[in-house]
Amino acid sequence: MPDQTRIFGGARLGPASDLADYCGAVGEWAKNTWIADFPEQQSIWESAFPFLRLDNGDDLALDLRTDGSDPPVAYLSHDDESFCSLRTS
């Protein structure tokens, strides 16, 4: 992420068995919070595969909206605009 020099909040690394819980939490957040009122933001959240939870409540995720074998990383912000390291259409 070229515009980010650091990630606030630290990271919570856990076992791979937690990934399903991360995915469920991201999906629920996209459906049941302010994200649902913003289609572009909801698209990022609904296509995300979260792999890292941050202590501030945000997530890093792979953006699965692309067909590539090397998907861009998305920063899922729970209280602000989320973004990807590469814009997709």
* pLDDT tens string 16-59: 888 888 899 999 999 999 999 999 999 999 999 998 888 888 99
Domains of the chain: which residue ranges? 14-84
Least Cα distance to 51 among 1, 87, 13, 85 occurs for 13
Q: pLDDT-derived band of residue 12, with 50, 70 and 90 as boundaries?
A: low
In the chain, what's the furthest Cα-to-Cα distance?
A: 33
Tokens representing 19 are: 């990934």
Query: In what side-by-side order are the strands of the sheet with 73-76?
Result: 11-12, 48-54, 59-63, 73-76, 83-84
Least Cα distance to 57 among 12, 15, 1 occurs for 12
